[in-house]
Chain A
Amino acid sequence: MQQELKKAAVAKGDVARQPNQLSDEIAVKISGLHKWFAGFHALQGISLSVRKGETVVVCGPSGSGKSTLIRCINRLEVHDKGRITVGGTLLSNDIRAIERVRADVGMVFQQFNLFPHLNVLSNLTLGPIWVKKTPRAKAEQTALANLKRVRIEEQAYKYPSQLSGGQQQRVAIARSLCMNPSLLLFDEPTSALDPEMIKEVLEVMTELSHEGITMIVVTHEMNFANMVADRVIFMDEGQIIEENTPEEFFANPQHERSKLFLSQIL
């Protein structure tokens, strides 16, 4: 299977995966994380460290807690037990600390969640201007540069509803980039897209990974995981079942449940 994927990649002209240059610095450290939803034990003792520059793909069947896990990292979900440290800040009820972490951690959603009442440029400058206090002219300059980065600079003055799904998702990525984040979270970024638009989004994500941006990606795109990830994490029923390099994970999954999952999805 690994061979097939590699072959497919070569045929498409993709570059073989170059492991990212990883520092020893820790971007996110999670230990003993638990989360309950009204009695449902969604996360059951997750421990995970992500180093700076690393691209981690989290996969697993639906309901396994993948999204909940990354939503805890910028505190869209409040965890019940355990510790999460993001860029040296321990997440607690301290609202200042939460806002600081959120300003430093970008998130890309499955449903894009662009602001429909603002045009693309204003979507991108809202955070920099009002959170980071960047002067408007500077913020717009950065925004245009980031739109160029996701190859969509000609849409700057359109409204989200005038764009295709793939374009909207790239705008959403650019919106995260405008905050100059030290970590990007992707919550199933291609699940709401038509197949022909998935590629343009994955290409942008691949480039970002190669540029050394720290990324945690929840996705079902196994080809992306295989090509881009430094590490694959397989979750089921609120636990990390397997944690491995993509080569090992796809060629030689260690756990029965991983095997079952891969056989179903590939």
Chain B
Amino acid sequence: MTGVARNRVLDWIKTNLFSSPFNIVLTFLLLFVATKLLWNFLDWAVLRAVWGGDAETCRHGAGGACWAYVRDKARYVLFGHYPYEQQWRPQLFVAIFFLLSLLTQFKRFWSKYLTAAWVVLPLGAAGLMWGGFFGLTHVEMEEWGGLPLTLALAFLGISASYPIGIVLALARRSEMPVIRALSVIYIEVIRGVPLISMLFMAAVMFPLFLPEGITISKVVRAQVAIIMFASAYMAEVVRGGLQSLAKGQYEAADAIGLSYTKKMVFVVLPQALKAVIAPTVNTFIGLFKDTSLVFIISLSDLMFTTQASLQDADWLGFTVEGYIFAAFVYFVFCYFISFSSSRLEKELKV
């Protein structure tokens, strides 16, 4: 730090933190509280923590966090009941998503191959998890769980609700009253209902309406409920983008004779969607975390496996550590989405 810069910092501290007796007292008080809280947390999470061993080691430890628990349970929390020695398959599944999202952040990789990869690779990875070929054992879907399930629910949720949301937003601005009304009713009804109640309906009520002999797996029903839910929110985000566009853009597109579809594809949507990247990502992150609600209809997503791991009779009483780990995993993914979006905004020069 140069002398000038140091002076500036000192000046800032003086004028903002120590300008009056009251401010001096307040500064020290807050400093004390913050330090104390941080210290207590570090003391618990690091200094007195137990890093290895089993539950007994933790119970006889210094009363800090029991990371041994996370060490023992992480594989179960992340990959559920998937056969332990076969877990390289879900690991590959997660790695493929990570790799694809990473590549997508760079405009120079954007091509039809990348789009194709986004379709083919996740499908291939899912096929790999399913198994039954090349000597791979078949693993029932009921045994899939943890992170791959959360990722799949979120990925399919995002990639389906985005286009559906766009269609709903366009419908809501349609000149045809029936189309407009249908869209408004859909959006308002869905937005007026909590996701949990929709998941319950999908899990419990929906099968009652199916003809006898036909069953749809619970994962699929939950996935559809999530997509329906997220689409309504997405629609309102896209509508905001459509409204931000000057009327002249629509008129110029009309004036050169573009049909409705071409006008939307080439003129309106590229601008409207770009304008709402930030709220779009906001919705995506919300959707990612909302998938955790499926644990309530006993789908074994990350939240479900976290809770299940807490029921282990050998490891009772380490709830906080379990939830901190789950929160950490969710945070990593949400932060990654958020980081990707700010990169995307830079690439597109918003």
Contacts and interface: CB of A to CB of B under 8 A. Distances in A.
Q: Counting chain A CB atoms within 10 Å of each CB, which of B251, B254, B255, B271 scores highest? A: B255
A208 interface: no
Given A116-B271, A117-B271, A126-B266, A175 B251 contact: no
A109 B256 contact: no
Interface residues of B, number: 18
A102 B266 contact: no
Interface in B245-262: 246, 248-249, 251-259, 262
Interface string A242-253: 000000000000
A70 to B, nearest CB: 11
Contacts of B271: 115-117
Contact of A130 (B251, B255, B266, B274): B266
A5 interface: no
Contacts of B251: 76, 109, 113
A76 B255 contact: yes
Contacts of A176: 256
Contacts, number: 60
A74 B255 CA distance: 7
Q: Counting chain A CB atoms within 10 Å of each CB, which of B252, B262, B270 scores highest? A: B252
B257 A100 contact: yes
A201 B271 CA distance: 28
B270 A179 contact: no
Interface in A32-78: 74, 76
A127 interface: yes
B51 to A, nearest CB: 53
B249 A115 contact: yes
A99 interface: yes
Nearest to B256: A127
Contacts of A117: 270-271, 274
B252 A102 contact: no
A179 B249 contact: no
Interface string A94-118: 0000011111111101010111110
Interface residues of A, number: 25
A131 B252 contact: no
Contacts of B246: 111, 113
**Is chain A's binding surface mostly helix, strand, loop or mixed?**
mixed
A99 B266 CA distance: 16
Contact of A113 (B248, B259, B270, B274): B248
Contacts of A105: 255
A102 B254 contact: yes
A96 B119 CA distance: 36
Contacts of A115: 249, 252-253, 267, 271
A117 B253 CA distance: 13
Contacts of A106: 255-256
A117 B349 CA distance: 10
A234 B278 CA distance: 50
A101 to B, nearest CB: 8
Interface string A116-136: 110000000011001100000
Given A99-B257, A102-B254, A179-B256, A130 B249 contact: no
A261 B237 CA distance: 48
A121 to B, nearest CB: 14
Contacts of B249: 113, 115
B95 to A, nearest CB: 34
Nearest to A129: B266
Nearest to A101: B257
Nearest to B348: A117
A113 B250 CA distance: 9
Nearest to B249: A113
30 contacts: A76-B251, A76-B254, A76-B255, A99-B259, A101-B257, A102-B254, A103-B256, A104-B257, A105-B255, A107-B255, A109-B251, A109-B252, A109-B255, A111-B246, A111-B248, A113-B246, A113-B248, A113-B249, A114-B252, A115-B252, A115-B253, A115-B271, A117-B270, A117-B271, A117-B274, A126-B266, A127-B258, A130-B258, A175-B256, A176-B256
Interface of A: 74, 76, 99-107, 109, 111, 113-117, 126-127, 130-131, 175-176, 179
Given A117-B271, A131-B257, 16 more contacts: A101-B257, A103-B257, A104-B257, A109-B252, A109-B255, A111-B248, A113-B246, A113-B251, A115-B253, A116-B271, A126-B266, A126-B267, A127-B257, A130-B262, A131-B256, A176-B256
Interface of B: 246, 248-249, 251-259, 262, 266-267, 270-271, 274
Q: Please list the 9 inter-chain residue pairs (A to B) with the smallest Cβ-Cβ separation, ordered nearest first.
A: A103-B257, A113-B252, A127-B256, A102-B257, A113-B248, A107-B255, A131-B257, A99-B257, A130-B262
